[in-house]
Structure 1
Amino acid sequence: MAGRNVVYESVPKDEKREELQKPPERPKGLGIRHLQTVILFICLTIAYTIRSQLSVLMVAMVRVQDPHCAFPDGTRNISEGCVDPNANISRWNIYRTYDWHKSTQEMITFSFFVGYTSMMIPMGLLAQKYGGKLPIMFALAVNGVISICTPWIALLGGWIAMSVSRLALGMTQAAMYPSIHTLLAKWAPLRERGRLSTYIYTGSQAGTIIAFQLSGLFAGSPILGWPVSFWLFGSLSLLSCALLGWLGVASPHQHPSITTEELAYIMEDGAVDIVPKKRKTPWKHILTSKPVWGLIVSHAGSAASYLLILTEIPLYMNHILHVDLKRLWLVQEYFCSRSAL
């Protein structure tokens, strides 16, 4: 009896039977969370096209300098009898080339990443306070307007205005990843978070590939020219901003047509707080964590290599390998016509 009493006394008096509760089943078919994933993928893809296009278009915007016709600072020496390619066109014609030295080109390209790195943490705080939707819309709107105006910015303000515009692009695009993280924390269930995150973040590679191909096509086209690339991707940025404002929602609870089953599936395991809680950031533990510093070092090396290839390969192909953009466009057109036959 004593042993039996011990056994019965060890049983909890207040049994909640949590182990018997089944988690919500995944709703069949595509849901609102998948729609948000597609929208964020489109927004990130367009953002990366605007980020990457200048690396290719810089080759078309800058004329090949003759060492005998240029001063050490990169300006043209007309007294030597050198011909200015822009002499026979109107001063308001945006279809022109510029005498930008290599160091000037790198200053313009580098300006984007100065703004990007300086605003990453502030944009993360804004996304945490106001949600992820509004910062992304603001970034896409600013990027679209600046991209469309870039040919006139270069014409009227020169390389300094171009550097300032690229700085503004970087400062606003710093909102993309923190805002996407914020939206994923609200929309992605724990069991699908890795998969949905992968779908969205693939937009960075897709945007880079699209920008390199289309920018090279426009820059080498004798009809369209390099300004068309800025206009196209700028217009797409404004359209994606409107798409996010129309169909994007900051939280599942704010969506008017989400089903009860999908909402319960997203909310399972405490993945999302119904009422956002203010939490303290454990800075001491973060800054003293060896895995955190290992991730920082590895990501810094990966990012440095990626950005070096992103910004320098078009110039390397043009100046070192002597790959002409116009000739490359004609080769692509030839193979496309042959494949159609």
Structure 2
Amino acid sequence: MSSSETGVFIGVSAGKGPILGARHLQTLLLHLAMGICYVSKIYIGIALVAMTDAQTTNPNFPEFDWDEKQRSYILSSFFWGSSISQIPGGYVAKRFGVKASLVIGIFASGIFGLSVPFCVTWGGWKIYCAIRVCQGLCQGILFPCIYQHVALWSPVEERNRLGALSLMGIQTGTIVAMYVTGMIAASDLGWPGISYVFSGTEIVFSLLLLIFAENTPANAKVITDAERKYILNSQESVNNAQERKKNVKVPWKAILTSGPFISLLVVRTCDSWGYSTMMAQIPAFLHGALKMEITKNALYSALPYVATFVLSFVFMILADVILNHKWISLLVLRKVFNTIAMWIPAAFLIGIGFLSESQTVLAVAFLTMSVGLNSGATIGSNMNGIDLAPNHIGILMGLVNSMSSVIRIVSPIVVGIIVSDDTNRSQWQIVFLLTAGFYILGNLQFLLFAQATVQPWDSEDFMTKRGSQRRVKMTRAA
């Protein structure tokens, strides 16, 4: 399609394609996919309150007598599924394309979600766990797909920006889930309406993906020639293949023994521990240790999400300015931003443990900045996988996010063991010190071992060369 054939893409600049074009449409779809899936991941906490204490929302719907242990199973069951499907999801996305993977995964998740009001009334918490496991299995493909699509559609110069905009769907979905779920539960729709609205949205959005999503710029139907050349030439300049083969063998041994990948895996695992622990425990800490009222607790618990959303833009713009002016290299940028995202929050977390009930405003400020500044990890370490292996990014992030899903299951259990009394400040100090330790050590090894160049094993002929070398050795031995 030539530039004159499409009026929706505007601002073509010489050698760079449209300022607003197909790559931005794909980024918007990724942002919405991330947001919609995160809503269905997060709303469960509020939905359980409505289902087990109907008087707080709409008493006209069934109420379930589930104890704390049963509710914890329901809360964690989503991650049982997503931890299993991350790695296969990366392979499937690479083999069959991101579009088909996302459409099927999100559509199936929506169907399972719609079944909740009909199944839970007769199957109880066990069937609810089973449904959440199935939704986790369906959505486990999300992160590998996001990173692979960013790698395929982003010119190298715009990779940080488009990647950050895609991943910011996490904050969008979180904020929507927090503010909309409660309103739906209290409305005439009651707690079943939560499933109807959000799962219905997943199904509708999967159909939009079917229409508008494209697997690669090389084969896209709605794209200008200028933009297609801009994307492919930019990727070719750093030795990325213009059109990646779907049946390329995955160099598993090389990946799993790669120092830069192991560094990425460790730092993302440590960051996941810190972020997931803080997100899950903020309300309990504010209410228990600092004796804050529930109404204020809800407001203050939302501030970190807002801070994360705003600071994500700040980090994204700063990264663009720094790299455009070539003030520092990409590797240095990754390490600086990741240090800001992990070491400064670590200091705030240590400080929080020493604050008293009379210093609630300062505690909330520390928590907000700790979680908000952590958004710098998106530019810091989160996008580092694309630097290392744009051809195998789906596989890499499947491995990374499988570990992250396991951490999201384990960290609440560890906190529950440490904090037997949520009003005991000394127990919370242990939690904050442990979390700060993960941040400090995770980033330290990233500073020492991280790289930001395409690894030899990412080459599409790497396995062919390896096979040839092995055959030569066998012939000589014979």
Report the TM-score range of the alignment, normalised by the length of the smaller protein. Answer: 0.7 to 0.9
1:299 alignment counterpart = 268
Structure 2 residue corresponding to 1:202, chosen from 157, 162, 168:
168
1:249 alignment counterpart = 214
1:126 alignment counterpart = 92
Paired AA for residue 267 in structure 1: L
Change in Cα spacing, 1:316 to 1:170, as seen in structure 2 (3 Å) is farther
Instruction: Report the CA distance between 1:302 and its aligned residue.
Output: 2.3
Instruction: Report the CA distance between 1:312 and its aligned residue.
Output: 5.5
Asked whether the equivalents of residues 16 and 230 of structure 2 are also in contact (C-alpha less than 8 Å), the reply is: yes
Structure 1: which 5+ residue stretches go unaligned?
A: 1-23, 65-84, 330-341
Instruction: Report the CA distance between 1:318 and its aligned residue.
Output: 8.4
Asked whether the equivalents of residues 103 and 210 of structure 2 are also in contact (C-alpha less than 8 Å), the reply is: yes
**Are 1:260 and 2:225 matched, yes or no?**
yes
2:430 alignment counterpart = none
SS at match of 1:253: coil
Paired AA for residue 228 in structure 1: G
Asked whether the equivalents of residues 109 and 311 of structure 1 are also in contact (C-alpha less than 8 Å), the reply is: no
Structure 2 CA distance for aligned equivalents of residues 309 and 116 of structure 1: 20
Change in Cα spacing, 1:25 to 1:262, as seen in structure 2 (3 Å) is same
Structure 2 CA distance for aligned equivalents of residues 275 and 213 of structure 1: 41
Please list, as runs of the form range in 1=range in 2, the aligned pairs for 1:23-38 lying within 5 A after superposition: 25-38=15-28
Structure 2: which 5+ residue stretches go unaligned?
A: 1-13, 300-478
SS at match of 1:98: coil
Q: Could you give the per-residue CA deviations for residues 244-277 of structure 1, whole angstroms, max 9, x where no partner exists? A: 1111111123222311111110111424433626
| Number of corresponding residues | 277
Structure 2 CA distance for aligned equivalents of residues 162 and 322 of structure 1: 32
Please list, as runs of the form range in 1=range in 2, the aligned pairs for 1:57-206 lying within 5 A after superposition: 57-63=47-53, 95-206=61-172
More helix by share: 2
Paired AA for residue 243 in structure 1: L
Structure 1 CA distance for aligned equivalents of residues 201 and 42 of structure 2: 14
Structure 2 residue corresponding to 1:232, chosen from 197, 203, 213:
197
Asked whether the equivalents of residues 55 and 315 of structure 1 are also in contact (C-alpha less than 8 Å), the reply is: no
Structure 2 CA distance for aligned equivalents of residues 274 and 124 of structure 1: 18
After the TM superposition, which of the residue ranges 253-262 and 120-129 deviates more from structure 2?
253-262
Q: Could you give the per-residue CA deviations for residues 50-102 of structure 1, whole angstroms, max 9, x where no partner exists? A: 000001211121139xxxxxxxxxxxxxxxxxxxx9xxx9xxx8x12111111
Structure 2 CA distance for aligned equivalents of residues 52 and 236 of structure 1: 15
After the TM superposition, which of the residue ranges 174-183 and 222-231 deviates more from structure 2?
222-231
Greater relative contact order (Cα < 8 A, sep 6+): 1
Instruction: Report the CA distance between 1:290 and its aligned residue.
Output: 3.7
Structure 1 residue corresponding to 2:252, chosen from 266, 283, 295:
283
Change in Cα spacing, 1:114 to 1:323, as seen in structure 2 (3 Å) is farther
Normalised by the length of structure 2, the TM-score is: 0.53
Structure 1 CA distance for aligned equivalents of residues 286 and 192 of structure 2: 21
Normalised by the length of structure 1, the TM-score is: 0.73
Instruction: Report the CA distance between 1:148 and its aligned residue.
Output: 2.1
Instruction: Report the CA distance between 1:191 and its aligned residue.
Output: 1.4
Asked whether the equivalents of residues 116 and 170 of structure 1 are also in contact (C-alpha less than 8 Å), the reply is: yes
Structure 2 CA distance for aligned equivalents of residues 228 and 161 of structure 1: 18
Structure 2 CA distance for aligned equivalents of residues 319 and 165 of structure 1: 32
After the TM superposition, which of the residue ranges 300-309 and 52-61 deviates more from structure 2?
300-309
Change in Cα spacing, 1:252 to 1:97, as seen in structure 2 (3 Å) is same
Structure 2 CA distance for aligned equivalents of residues 139 and 204 of structure 1: 17
After the TM superposition, which of the residue ranges 244-253 and 288-297 deviates more from structure 2?
288-297
Asked whether the equivalents of residues 107 and 206 of structure 2 are also in contact (C-alpha less than 8 Å), the reply is: yes
Paired AA for residue 293 in structure 1: I
Q: Which has the larger radius of gyration?
A: 1
Aligned-residue CA RMSD in angstroms? 2.8
Asked whether the equivalents of residues 187 and 251 of structure 1 are also in contact (C-alpha less than 8 Å), the reply is: yes
Change in Cα spacing, 1:60 to 1:110, as seen in structure 2 (3 Å) is same
Structure 2 CA distance for aligned equivalents of residues 315 and 228 of structure 1: 27
Change in Cα spacing, 1:169 to 1:246, as seen in structure 2 (3 Å) is same
Instruction: Report the CA distance between 1:235 and its aligned residue.
Output: 1.4
Asked whether the equivalents of residues 52 and 66 of structure 2 are also in contact (C-alpha less than 8 Å), the reply is: yes
Change in Cα spacing, 1:280 to 1:184, as seen in structure 2 (3 Å) is same
Change in Cα spacing, 1:305 to 1:101, as seen in structure 2 (3 Å) is farther
